């Protein structure tokens, strides 16, 4: 492909492209870059909120489809699978394989970009179908891996070791593997002998839309907060690896009567036990916690009753501090978002943060798995000292722009395309 104006038809594939999960949000940034390059984007998934004329919706490809949920119950938590289960996997693989071939044919796809569906085994038949298509067609692939099965305890006991070793991810000559942090790059090389490129998650630091505007100016009033309330945002789902109990402990010990904790998301797809425990803990300790996900949407909209629904980026301009006490993260989108919106941060030093973010020397209140009185005082100082707060967030913004900007994503993706096609 020596024609410099060659337009590629790029097919993104996943179980879901919808809402505000990390994979969907990061894929939008890749879409933006490829569109800037002049390429056309098409979508294949089991749940989609993309343009219909550029999409191929196959509901059976959704990880939360009832048939897939039932199948997963028989595959994980046990080391034995029946012959009938094997046949069922293969039948569903063949069904999805037909749909994928149709997608490639209908949209004349030049290159595929599987988003995490060849890394985390949420949908075994989809990963198998995609692997076989890549083998059979040798179509160029950029496999974007966000997290692998060996990072999640619930996948470690399984009856699909043969499939995981061949398809999650597959080691094939037409695949360029991309991971989101250097730790999983090393894991992938050590466990599977597969080389990969690290492309960090990014934010468009060159295009700042971080102020209070005409739409979101009423956010505090609409949700019943006073202008002088100190709003502390936990911008995550309520799952145990997010360490939200540390945010509760922070509120309890700050001794600031106007401080309130906002939690942006619900439990998601990992069960309600931890969610219920957080609610119970907050009530017992009389900690002011507000779950605001019913007021949020992935995009701004007015609901049927005429009430404004805000997106998460409408919330950030109104908050005074962001808590990010995660025990584990694949990278840390919420960290970058807080930096982008120039908000001070309380961060737990999770492993990827230590390896890939901390060496950049961001100015945060950092904890090591638990909150000390020293950390509480540091947060109190940041909230009450405007000059300290401004110094912190301005430094962080410049570092974010230097190391995690959309401009760097353009360079990395351009280099990968050049390695596949030469100059295009």
DSSP 127-187: HHHHHHHHHHH---EEEEES--GGGSGGGTSBS-HHHHHHHSS---TTEEEEESSHHHHHH
Instruction: Write down all domains in the chain, each with its CATH number in brackets.
Output: 9-202+406-421 (3.40.50.2000), 216-403 (3.40.50.2000)
Give, as one character, the DSSP assignment of residue 42.
Answer: E
pLDDT band at residue 424 using 50, 70 and 90 as cut-offs:
low
pLDDT of residue 269: 63
**pLDDT of residue 1 exceeding 50:** no
Q: How far is CA 396 from the centre of its chain?
A: 21
Report d(CA 301, CA 141) in Å as an integer: 36
For residue range 23-46, list pLDDT tens digits in order. Answer: 998 999 999 999 999 999 999 999
CA atoms within 13 A on the CB side of 48: 20
Among 91-100, 187-196, 264-273, which stretch is predicted with the lowest mean pLDDT? 264-273
Buried b (16+ CB within 10 A) or exposed e, 38-49: ebbbbbbbbbbe
Q: How far is CA 163 from the centre of its chain?
A: 25
CA 283 vs CA 43, 278, 289, 292: distances in Å? 44, 9, 9, 17
- Residue 366: count of CB within 10 angstroms of its CB: 16
**Contact 249/232 with Cβ under 8 angstroms?**
no
pLDDT of residue 2: 37
Radius of gyration in angstroms for the set of CA atoms belonging to the chain, rounded to a whole number: 22
pLDDT of residue 323: 98
Mean pLDDT of the chain: 94
CA 210 vs CA 19, 33, 51, 205, 206: distances in Å? 20, 21, 27, 10, 12
- DSSP three-state, residue 56: strand
For range 333-349, the mean pLDDT: 96
Q: For the CA atoms of 197, 406, 27, 25, what is the dihedral angle to 10 degrees?
A: 130
- DSSP three-state, residue 10: strand
pTM for this prediction = 0.90
**Contact 104/139 with Cβ under 8 angstroms?**
yes
**Contact 241/328 with Cβ under 8 angstroms?**
yes
**pLDDT of residue 121 exceeding 80:** yes
How far the first Cα of the chain sits from its last, in Å, is 6
- Residue 53: count of CB within 10 angstroms of its CB: 7
pLDDT of residue 4: 47
pLDDT band at residue 5 using 50, 70 and 90 as cut-offs:
low
For residue range 203-249, list pLDDT tens digits in order. Answer: 999 988 778 999 999 999 999 999 999 999 999 999 999 999 999 99
Report d(CA 183, CA 186) in Å as an integer: 5
**pLDDT of residue 260 exceeding 60:** yes
The length of the chain, given as a count of residues? 424
For residue range 145-194, list pLDDT tens digits in order. Answer: 999 999 988 999 999 999 999 999 999 999 999 999 999 999 999 999 99
For residue range 281-322, list pLDDT tens digits in order. Answer: 999 999 999 999 999 988 899 988 889 999 999 999 999 999
Give, as one character, the DSSP assignment of residue 221.
Answer: H
**pLDDT of residue 3 exceeding 60:** no
**Contact 333/237 with Cβ under 8 angstroms?**
no
∠ CA 352-22-263, rounded to 5°: 90
For range 64-73, the mean pLDDT: 97
More confidently predicted of 331 and 210? 331
**Contact 203/403 with Cβ under 8 angstroms?**
no
Q: For the CA atoms of 379, 383, 386, 390, what is the dihedral angle to 10 degrees?
A: 60
Q: Name the residue with tokens 């809402």.
A: 19
Q: Which two tokens stand for residue 106?
A: 């209908």
Report d(CA 64, CA 191) in Å as an integer: 28
């Amino acid at each position: 492909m020596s024609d410099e104006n060659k337009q590629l038809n790029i097919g993104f594939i996943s179980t879901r492209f919808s809402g505000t999960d990390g994979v969907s949000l990061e894929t939008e940034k890749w879409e933006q870059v490829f569109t800037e390059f002049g390429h056309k984007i098409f979508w294949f998934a089991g749940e989609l909120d993309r343009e219909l004329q550029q999409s191929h919706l196959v509901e059976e490809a959704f990880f939360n489809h009832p048939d897939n949920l039932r199948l997963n119950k028989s595959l994980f938590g046990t080391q034995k699978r029946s012959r009938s289960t094997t046949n069922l996997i293969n039948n569903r693989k063949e069904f999805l394989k037909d749909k994928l071939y149709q997608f490639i044919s209908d949209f004349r796809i030049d290159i595929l970009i599987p988003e995490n569906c060849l890394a985390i085994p949420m949908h075994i038949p989809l990963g198998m179908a995609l692997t076989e298509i890549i083998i059979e067609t040798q179509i160029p692939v950029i496999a974007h891996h966000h997290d692998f099965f060996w990072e999640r305890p619930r996948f470690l006991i399984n009856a699909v070791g043969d499939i995981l070793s061949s398809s999650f991810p597959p080691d094939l000559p037409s695949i360029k593997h991309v991971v989101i942090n250097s730790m999983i790059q090393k894991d992938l090389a050590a466990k599977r002998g597969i080389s990969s490129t690290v492309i960090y998650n990014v934010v468009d630091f060159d295009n700042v839309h971080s102020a209070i505007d005409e739409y979101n100016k009423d956010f505090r009033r609409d949700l019943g907060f006073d202008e002088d309330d100190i709003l502390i945002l936990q911008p995550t789902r309520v799952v145990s690896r997010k360490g939200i109990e540390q945010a509760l402990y922070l509120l309890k010990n700050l001794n600031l009567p106007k401080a309130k904790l906002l939690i942006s998301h619900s439990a998601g797809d990992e069960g309600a036990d931890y969610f219920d425990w957080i609610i119970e803990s907050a009530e017992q300790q009389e900690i002011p916690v507000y779950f605001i996900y019913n007021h949020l949407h992935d995009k701004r909209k007015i609901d049927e009753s005429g009430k404004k629904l805000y997106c998460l980026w409408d919330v950030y301009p109104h908050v005074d501090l962001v808590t990010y006490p995660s025990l584990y993260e694949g990278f840390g989108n919420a960290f970058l978002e807080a930096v982008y919106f120039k908000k001070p941060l309380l961060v737990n030093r999770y492993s990827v943060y230590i390896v890939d973010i901390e060496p950049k020397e961001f100015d945060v209140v950092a904890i090591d798995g638990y909150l000390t009185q020293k950390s509480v005082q540091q947060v109190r100082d940041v909230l009450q000292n405007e000059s300290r707060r401004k110094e912190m967030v301005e430094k962080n913004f410049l570092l974010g722009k230097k190391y995690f900007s959309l401009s760097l994503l353009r360079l990395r993706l351009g280099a990968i395309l050049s390695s596949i096609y030469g100059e295009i």
